Structure 1
Amino acid sequence: MDGGGAKAGLQFPVSRIGRYLKKGRYAQRVGTGAPVYLAAVLEYLAAEVLELAGNAARDNKKNRIIPRHVLLAIRNDEELGKLLAGVTIAHGGVLPNIHSVLLPKKAAERAEKAASATKSPKKAAAAKSPKK
């Protein structure tokens, strides 16, 4: 199996992946296209994670991607989050999340909502305009 990565335009090592597939005894025989396809899939996933992690680093005004950025990228993406749901990333931390019940309630906002919650728009307009 020659390194088919150059022909396929891949960066990931096709011959090494082919060697791992054979050595791992996943099947008695491994086709020539299998390592190329697997290398392409792995390269795509790596590029996707790196792009999202780079965006997370830029959002935090950093030039270097750290494990925290990788975690934020994975957990904030629906599909990657589902794929890597059971994965723990070392030094990644946790997603910032405060349950809405625990957030402080503002008394002014509640008073405004109660005043504006009248039965019909005509009554709300009449309540705002002063009567003569």
Structure 2
Amino acid sequence: MEGTESANVVSKGGRTGGDRKKAVTKSAKAGLQFPVGRITRFLKKGRYSRRLGSGAPVYMAAVLEYLAAE
């Protein structure tokens, strides 16, 4: 029973405990300057509906950015 364990333990999902990539924001993915994550948070917090689609805050951020640029 010598050292059968490897130094890099693989977790259940198949990923190792190595380096992580830098997170990409929803605003960067959509090519916007306005904060999509913050708008999402405010829409959820404001209780505008029970469910919120994933594209709704992106669209709203794009509209607000367009109106601010005008």
The answer to whether the superposition gives a TM-score over 0.5 is yes
Q: Does 1:26 align with 2:56?
A: no
| Structure whose alpha-carbon radius of gyration is higher | 1
Aligned to 1:35: 57
* Separation of aligned partners in 2, 1:17 and 1:24: 10
Q: Tell me how far 1:3 sits from its aligned partner.
A: 3.2
- Bigger relative CO (Cα 8 Å, ≥ 6 apart): 2
RMSD: 1.2
TM-score (norm 1): 0.34
Q: Which runs of 5+ in 2 are unaligned?
A: 1-23
Identity %: 74
Q: Does 1:14 align with 2:36?
A: yes
* Separation of aligned partners in 2, 1:3 and 1:10: 10
For residues 30-61 of structure 1, the C-alpha deviation after alignment (integer angstroms, 9 at most, x for no partner) is: 1110000000000000000xxxxxxxxxxxxx
Aligned to 1:44: 66
* Separation of aligned partners in 1, 2:25 and 2:37: 5
Q: Tell me how far 1:20 sits from its aligned partner.
A: 0.3
- Where does structure 1 differ by over 6 angstroms across 4 or more consecutive aligned residues? none
For residues 47-103 of structure 1, the C-alpha deviation after alignment (integer angstroms, 9 at most, x for no partner) is: 00xxxxxxxxxxxxxxxxxxxxxxxxxxxxxxxxxxxxxxxxxxxxxxxxxxxxxxx
TM-score (norm 2): 0.64
Q: How many residues align?
A: 47
Flag the structure with higher helix content.
1
